Amino acid sequence: MALLLNNLEIDGFRGINKLRMEGLGRVSLLVGKNNSGKTRVLDAVRVFSESASPLVFSQISKEHDEHYDINEERGRTNNANFLRYFFDHRILPTKDDIKIISIGDGEGLEVTIHHQPVIEERFEEDGRIRIRRRLIKDTIDADIDNSTTFDAIVSTTIKNKEITLRRIIAEADGENNELSMRGEGFVIRRKRQDHKYKYIPSSFIDHEELATLWDMVVLSDKEAIIIDMMKIIDSKIEGLAFVGEKSRRDRHPIIRLIGDTPAPLGSLGDGAYRVFQIALNLVNAQHGFLLIDEFENGLHYKTQTALWSFIFNFASKLDIQVFATTHSSDCIAAFAEAATNHPELGCAYHLGQSIIDGKTIATRYEEARLKELVDMGRDIR
């Protein structure tokens, strides 16, 4: 099955400029120093996969605590000025600024985010007052007297030179010029084909979110895959369930071991939680992306090796493209070992910055070369 992305190009997104990652694998591991851009690449894939939905911007900003406005006495704010953190120098583009975010595959599919003046026209049709919004450059002859104009942040999705989706992410308030967001955004043109993704942060995922994902696979073949993956932690695990009141959003995972009584999943340690959330998101990411930040958290080297083998195996079977980040040499070694047993599926990228122009550079390592470097004791972090 073809990959969703053969290459990845990112420009102007959260400090990443002119990054090109060629020859992506079914499973790609991102390594590099702190603040080298690893998590930002995952965020860019999330924005790309959802065609720059306003909701994905809001979710990412909350994860980075960017809804907190350090310039406001009240601290947290409901306006959308946090969008500035996604642009170069953390400054929102204006009508005099050509600043653009671009995320694409370099093969004709691209999502851009930019400033765009918008006009709102009110007109009567069939005895009813209707509202139509257009980009100002498309409506030079519009009757401005009967219209409202405002600045907006607009996303455009292009596939093979055809605009498939254009929508307003946020728009300026006429009174105080603050940006505001409204749900999925006002769609100007639609023919969208989003790719679903599952994102696993470096921290633990909320129990209720896990329970919702579990409800989607319980009593299916995918449940059996999860149980097999949980046996990496303890070979005696034979069953798993969520208990508690769904109406109160108070459900917790429990496990059953052969010859033992049910017990909280947490009684097996943090590693069990990490394997469970990776396994659960893996099977729910079919035909989409699986994005894992700081893969190694809570996991022993041998656990990582076994877990990578499962991921390589089911990424192919379930048609999933995986991106993961790490700081750990153990994780790189475990990945390299699993990748050599699944030829032509995996590769690693070291992210760094050019000392000449500050651009983000990705150095690609095929699985054979990566294994060779690991065996030589070379540290590519």
Displacement of CA 371 from its chain's centroid (Å): 28
Higher pLDDT, 71 or 262: 262
Higher pLDDT, 20 or 35: 20
End-to-end CA distance of the chain, in Å? 31
Residue the block writes with tokens 């918008």: 118
Query: Is residue 296 one of the residues assigned to a domain?
Result: yes
Beta bridge mates, 148: 120
235 plus 186 within the same structural domain: no
Give the tokens for residue 124: 């009567």
Question: d(Cα 269, Cα 332) in Å, to the nearest integer?
Answer: 23
- The 10s digit of each residue's pLDDT in 287-297 is 999 999 999 99
Instruction: Indicate the residue among 193, 209, 236 that finishes a domain.
Output: 193
170 plus 281 within the same structural domain: no
Query: Is residue 176 one of the residues assigned to a domain?
Result: yes
What are the residues whose beta carbons fall under 8 Å from the beta carbon of 278, sequence distance 6 or more? 200, 229, 292, 295, 307, 311
At residue 286, the 3 state secondary structure works out as: coil
232 plus 187 within the same structural domain: no
Residue 265 CB-density burial (10 A; 0-12 exposed, 13-18 middle, 19+ buried)? buried
359 plus 212 within the same structural domain: yes
Of the candidates 371, 229, 380, the residue with the CA atom closest to the CA atom of residue 312: 229
- The 10s digit of each residue's pLDDT in 93-134 is 876 677 789 999 988 889 999 887 777 777 777 778 777 666
Domain count, the chain: 2
As a whole number, the mean pLDDT across the chain is 84
Of the candidates 236, 239, 326, 232, the residue with the CA atom closest to the CA atom of residue 271: 232
207 plus 137 within the same structural domain: no
CATH number at 354 reads: 3.40.50.300
Task: Return the pLDDT at 139.
Answer: 44
Q: Where are the alpha helices (DSSP H) in 64-110?
A: none
Question: d(Cα 297, Cα 39) in Å, to the nearest integer?
Answer: 14
271 plus 351 within the same structural domain: yes
- What are the angstrom distances between the C-alpha of 181 and each of 2, 82, 185, 244? 35, 11, 7, 35
Which band of pLDDT confidence, cut at 50, 70 and 90, is reported for residue 151?
confident
206 plus 172 within the same structural domain: no
Q: Residue 25 in contact with residue 112, Cβ under 8 Å?
A: no
Instruction: Indicate the residue among 139, 172, 193 that finishes a domain.
Output: 193
Q: How many CA atoms lie within 13 A of 100 on its CB side?
A: 11
At residue 77, the 3 state secondary structure works out as: coil
Q: Length of the chain in residues, anyone?
A: 381
Angle between helices 207-215 and 270-284 (to 10 degrees): 40
Q: Residue 276 in contact with residue 252, Cβ under 8 Å?
A: no
Amino acid at position 299, single letter = L
Which band of pLDDT confidence, cut at 50, 70 and 90, is reported for residue 44?
very high
Which band of pLDDT confidence, cut at 50, 70 and 90, is reported for residue 190?
low
170 plus 248 within the same structural domain: no
Domain that holds residue 71: 51-193
Query: Is residue 34 one of the residues assigned to a domain?
Result: no
- The 10s digit of each residue's pLDDT in 361-372 is 899 998 888 877
Residue 84 CB-density burial (10 A; 0-12 exposed, 13-18 middle, 19+ buried)? middle
Amino acid at position 31, single letter = V
Displacement of CA 207 from its chain's centroid (Å): 20
Displacement of CA 162 from its chain's centroid (Å): 24
At residue 34, the 3 state secondary structure works out as: coil
131 plus 251 within the same structural domain: no
**Phi, psi at residue 227, to the nearest 5°?**
-60, -40
pTM for this prediction: 0.88
Query: Is residue 318 one of the residues assigned to a domain?
Result: yes
152 plus 89 within the same structural domain: yes
- The 10s digit of each residue's pLDDT in 201-210 is 998 888 889 9
Query: Is residue 2 one of the residues assigned to a domain?
Result: no
221 plus 248 within the same structural domain: yes
Query: Is residue 264 one of the residues assigned to a domain?
Result: yes
- What are the angstrom distances between the C-alpha of 248 and each of 130, 251, 252, 337, 353? 41, 8, 12, 44, 48
349 plus 299 within the same structural domain: yes
Query: Is residue 322 one of the residues assigned to a domain?
Result: yes
- The 10s digit of each residue's pLDDT in 299-343 is 999 999 999 999 999 999 999 999 999 999 999 999 999 999 998
Query: Is residue 123 one of the residues assigned to a domain?
Result: yes
Instruction: Indicate the residue among 143, 158, 193 that finishes a domain.
Output: 193
